[in-house]
Structure 1
Amino acid sequence: MISTKSVRTEVLATLAAGAMAATGALLVPATAQATTTAATSATKVYDALKPGQVLRAGQFIRSTNGQYTFVMQTDGNAVLYKGKSALWSTATNRKGAVVVMQKNGNLEVVVGRTAIWQSNTGTSPNARLVVQNDSNLVIYNTRNKPNWSRYMVVQVLGAGRLLQTPQYLTSLNRVYRLQMQTDGNLVLVKNGKTPLWSTKTQSKGAFAVMQTDGNLVVYSAAKVPLWSSKTTRKGSALVLQNTGDVQIMVGRTVVWHTSTAGR
């Protein structure tokens, strides 16, 4: 049995800390709304962050239709807005942070020389980040093919991070996806069509959390636990390997896995 008391306490703490990066709880300070509308008529606003370019506190890029803005806030959180409504964020909260579109194709939130969030797409030199008119935030390679979007988490779901419909965790080789379905089931899929493993949960609005206590939990929309990996190793991360195995790891130690490698 899942410990309802412990997991409820954990998820409430996680949500309060602003880990729900696909909802309005995005570590947004009261001054952020003013920041996103601070462009002047004398300043040209771009819709893309090119290789090597940086967004510092208060700087932003905006979709060509003017509806969506990606801003580096003064609190260290990078947030995508529609008007005054937050759609997505890096869920970072470190003053002095900047957004960097690295020349190797990796998008990072950096404090000093330390990346505190990254897209894990550093194998595509000269890629660019674009704020699209359809509300998506996308990294395109030099062949104009998408490498990453705001609905995608590449390889590693870190502690305190969530997966909510239509978000998914993908392997680096893009063969496998761990996706949160609209019916509330967390499913591992190969090549977009072959299911290999699932939590067998059914509850509309459900979401998955890689908790800071090391437990992977699927919750209902009402934050009732539906399934758990029953692991308790602080510092754990959820990793989707190129072999198709989903693993909870502490450093290089595997503490739980789906036993789906090679399938």
Structure 2
Amino acid sequence: MISTKSVATLMVTTLAAGGALLAPVAAQAAPTTATAPAAVTKAAAVSDLLKPGQKLKAGNYIRSKNGQYVFIMQSDGNAVLYKGKTALWSTVTNRKASVLVMQKNGNLEVVSGKTVVWQSNTGTSPGAILAVQNDNNLVIYNTRGKPNWSRYMVVGTLGAGRVLKYPEYLTSVNRTYRLTMQGDGNLVLYKGKTALWSTKTQSKGAFAAMQTDGNLVVYSAAKKPLWSSKTTRKGAVLVAQNTGDVQIVLGRTVVWHTGTAGR
């Protein structure tokens, strides 16, 4: 298996024009058996919730009520959701001695020292809680019991080295716009049910990668590149703006966008 420490490692291929295509690994959280939570199958009174102000330090975990799914903060700095020894999702972080914190403002964060290395971007909902559900989902609920975030959702920014695969999506912070990796292989930007833009990769695409070289790429299941933003700004990220425009941004510089602002 691929180490959780190397899940963001990308294999290099080429593209005649524009940025290099880097084929990402198929899963973002494939663990080694050494990091899999072997001890969590034992019967124990383990909560399925992470409440405001609570933390998971290295080796600490919460578990679904049916006992099948475990969300653990690993010693390598990666917070991983497991079913048995199979990793289903992770924060793709690798700062040792990191802590997972359910902040009182509703933001779920992986924190190393004073540095936030990953966050759910939901810090406007004081009192929210994180739940590991029996349906294999991780969900942040507000105090009214409404979901603010799930493991299939990326709020605001898709970071360098991150992947969207069905049914995952990137949503604007105001939740008006959604960039969805569909089951038919197409990467589509929606406002409600109205499609505003797409990569036109239906029947072919399998996942979209915001690569560390700054190139946004849709790949087939065989990791063949099908569509690319043709951008090469190392460290750039993908941002779903509240205006409806999806942009590749490096610092304050917009290096590519869908041109859908105001639609």
TM-score w.r.t. the length of structure 2 is 0.90
Shift of 1:186: 0.4
Q: Determine the structure 1 residue equivalent to 2:203.
A: 203
- d(CA) in 2 for partners of 1:205, 1:235: 24
- d(CA) in 2 for partners of 1:38, 1:119: 25
Residue 108 of structure 1 contacts residue 117 of structure 1 at CA under 8 Å; is this kept in 2?
yes
Higher helix share: 1
Q: Determine the structure 1 residue equivalent to 2:171.
A: 170
Q: Determine the structure 2 residue equivalent to 1:37.
A: 39
Residue 18 of structure 2 contacts residue 230 of structure 2 at CA under 8 Å; is this kept in 1?
no
Whether 2:263 is the aligned partner of 1:260: answer no
Q: Determine the structure 1 residue equivalent to 2:154.
A: 153
Q: Determine the structure 2 residue equivalent to 1:87.
A: 88
- d(CA) in 2 for partners of 1:244, 1:169: 12
Whichever residue aligns with residue 172 of structure 1, its letter is V
Shift of 1:38: 4.1
Number of equivalent positions: 250
- d(CA) in 1 for partners of 2:210, 2:76: 24
Residue 27 of structure 1 contacts residue 77 of structure 1 at CA under 8 Å; is this kept in 2?
no
Q: CA RMSD in A?
A: 1.9
Shift of 1:49: 0.2
Q: Determine the structure 1 residue equivalent to 2:6.
A: none
Whichever residue aligns with residue 3 of structure 1, its letter is A
- The percentage of aligned residue pairs carrying the same residue is 69
Whichever residue aligns with residue 147 of structure 2, its letter is P
**4+ aligned runs moved over 2 Å, structure 1:** 1-8, 35-41, 202-205
SS of structure 1 residue aligned to 2:231: coil
- d(CA) in 2 for partners of 1:6, 1:231: 5
Unaligned runs of 5+ in 2: 1-13
Q: Determine the structure 2 residue equivalent to 1:183.
A: 184
Residue 169 of structure 1 contacts residue 177 of structure 1 at CA under 8 Å; is this kept in 2?
yes
Q: Determine the structure 2 residue equivalent to 1:74.
A: 75
Whichever residue aligns with residue 46 of structure 2, its letter is V
Shift of 1:235: 1.5
Q: Deviations over 1:86-127 (max 9, x none)?
A: 111111111101100011110011100101111000110110
Shift of 1:26: 1.5
- d(CA) in 2 for partners of 1:214, 1:138: 29
Q: Determine the structure 1 residue equivalent to 2:7.
A: none
Identify if the C-alpha distance between structure 1 residues 82 and 249 changes in structure 2 by more than 3 Å, giving closer, same or farther.
Answer: same
- d(CA) in 2 for partners of 1:244, 1:197: 10
Identify if the C-alpha distance between structure 1 residues 175 and 218 changes in structure 2 by more than 3 Å, giving closer, same or farther.
Answer: same
- d(CA) in 2 for partners of 1:187, 1:146: 23
Whether 2:100 is the aligned partner of 1:99: answer yes
Residue 4 of structure 1 contacts residue 225 of structure 1 at CA under 8 Å; is this kept in 2?
no
Q: Determine the structure 1 residue equivalent to 2:5.
A: none
Identify if the C-alpha distance between structure 1 residues 182 and 27 changes in structure 2 by more than 3 Å, giving closer, same or farther.
Answer: closer
Equivalences for residues 13-32 of structure 1 within 5 A: 14-15=24-25, 23=27, 26=29, 28-32=31-35
- d(CA) in 2 for partners of 1:202, 1:39: 41
Q: Determine the structure 2 residue equivalent to 1:126.
A: 127
- d(CA) in 2 for partners of 1:211, 1:6: 10
Q: Determine the structure 1 residue equivalent to 2:16.
A: 3
- d(CA) in 2 for partners of 1:38, 1:235: 37
Q: Determine the structure 2 residue equivalent to 1:224.
A: 224
Q: Deviations over 1:71-96 (max 9, x none)?
A: 11111111101122111111111110
- d(CA) in 2 for partners of 1:66, 1:97: 25
- d(CA) in 1 for partners of 2:117, 2:30: 15
- d(CA) in 2 for partners of 1:131, 1:159: 26
Whether 2:60 is the aligned partner of 1:59: answer yes
Whichever residue aligns with residue 185 of structure 1, its letter is N
Unaligned runs of 5+ in 1: none
Whether 2:217 is the aligned partner of 1:214: answer no
